[in-house]
Structure 1
């Protein structure tokens, strides 16, 4: 299989699929077939973001800053999230942040019991707080990290974990991830990095304003 997609292209694909999914979810569609197609395409987004998060953790030169940046944008994203959703849930950046904290625990804690307790507690937090994708999304981040460089094992564990979100869309997501060539791509520099983070709250706010 030819691997032609850089990390930058994975980001673009994930952002586009997320936008398509949210347009269908928040605006609806009179054509049920088109609606299901849009939601299926939207399932590409989260696994791709989770994969990129695990990759970013490995290459990050300042992991504390990485976590603080994600935390700041998670807080910012709560404003449009709560305006759009009235079910007590919280935005997906908190799920990704929990994943990042889990990876940090795995790398930095010395005792196995401490790692197990920390990783389990973080998963419980995503469940109890009701973050988007919850403990399954959190677990997927851990899978991408623990089996890094083994897309076959990532797929073997990842697809059953995310099965409830739609098998076709999840298989599409893993197909995209398999095309990753290990290169960073054209999205470079602080401005582009923060623009990527900002897209999430900005597109949610735009959806809210246009409803």
Structure 2
């Protein structure tokens, strides 16, 4: 994919915008919605920036990372570290500490879990040992496994399509865009636009990445690589404490 001489934002800058958007979204879920629903909708609209953006960069990350196994391990450990804080933020308890809570509510996962499955899907697709029908079945299985996660299915297929179609920009943007746009429009319409128009904020990352991303990584200082992995579980725990105590 060529970004020749394009002015705009680099990968680090866009990731920090995505982190801020995520924080705004989670503050709305935890604090704002019960008090000011309209403001909450606006904040959720902004928050739709994060899931597709992270999927895009994980899809690119398979090529750019020095060690994909370590990259996958970081995502997996972050998902594990975020599991408890995510459930606490969402429901006010930690997994499996309340025997009366249904099992399904104990296995809910955050976005890093879904991104981990997306990166796994790329590794499956790139496997030299598996035939294509088996790869397709494995990807379907990963999509099913993503259902308890944030941005289910979307952050699996979105990651995979960014990688698979990386040499065909038109196909990549079409597949990537539709992966997020169709489900989000469907959710907005199914729930009623009056209370669910925030899902249409998914257009923000699609347009921003298509027209504002300059293809550059930015500074390679370790802080830029590790900040999200630390911030994600930490902010969930902090907002959970604010919400439930």
Q: TM-score, normalised by structure 2?
A: 0.78
Whether 1:47 and 2:52 are equivalent positions in the alignment is yes
Q: Is the 8 A contact 1:43 1:169 kept in 2?
A: yes
Match of 1:63 among 61, 68, 75: 68
Q: Are the structure 2 counterparts of residues 41 and 116 from structure 1 closer, same or farther at C-alpha, using a change threshold of 3 Å?
A: same
Q: Give the aligned partner of residue 172 of structure 2.
A: 154
Task: Report matched runs for 1:61-100 at 5 Å.
Answer: 61-86=66-91, 87-88=105-106, 89-100=108-119
Structure-2 separation of matches of 1:58 and 1:136? 20
Match of 1:101 among 120, 142, 158: 120
Deviation at 1:48, TM superposition (A): 0.4
Q: Is the 8 A contact 2:47 2:201 kept in 1?
A: yes
What is the aligned-residue RMSD (CA, Å)? Answer: 2.0
Deviation at 1:150, TM superposition (A): 4.7
Gapped runs of 5+ residues in structure 2? 92-104, 185-197
Deviation at 1:132, TM superposition (A): 1.2
Deviation at 1:152, TM superposition (A): 3.9
Whether 1:14 and 2:18 are equivalent positions in the alignment is yes
Match of 1:119 among 139, 142, 160: 139
Give the paired residue count: 208
Moved more, 61-70 or 104-113: 104-113
Whether 1:185 and 2:218 are equivalent positions in the alignment is yes
**Larger Cα-atom Rg:** 2
Moved more, 17-26 or 168-177: 168-177
Q: Is the 8 A contact 1:109 1:115 kept in 2?
A: no
Secondary structure at the aligned position of 1:90 is classed as coil
Whether 1:204 and 2:224 are equivalent positions in the alignment is no
Secondary structure at the aligned position of 1:108 is classed as coil
What are the Cα deviations for residues 60-97 of structure 1, in whole angstroms up to 9, with x where unaligned? 11111111111111100012112122434211111000
Q: TM-score, normalised by structure 1?
A: 0.89
Q: Give the aligned partner of residue 193 of structure 2.
A: none
What are the Cα deviations for residues 121-176 of structure 1, in whole angstroms up to 9, with x where unaligned? 2112112xx11111122111112212225554334233333234355311111111
Match of 2:206 among 174, 195, 202: 174
Q: Give the aligned partner of residue 26 of structure 1.
A: 30
Whether 1:143 and 2:147 are equivalent positions in the alignment is no
Moved more, 30-39 or 53-62: 30-39
Secondary structure at the aligned position of 1:134 is classed as coil
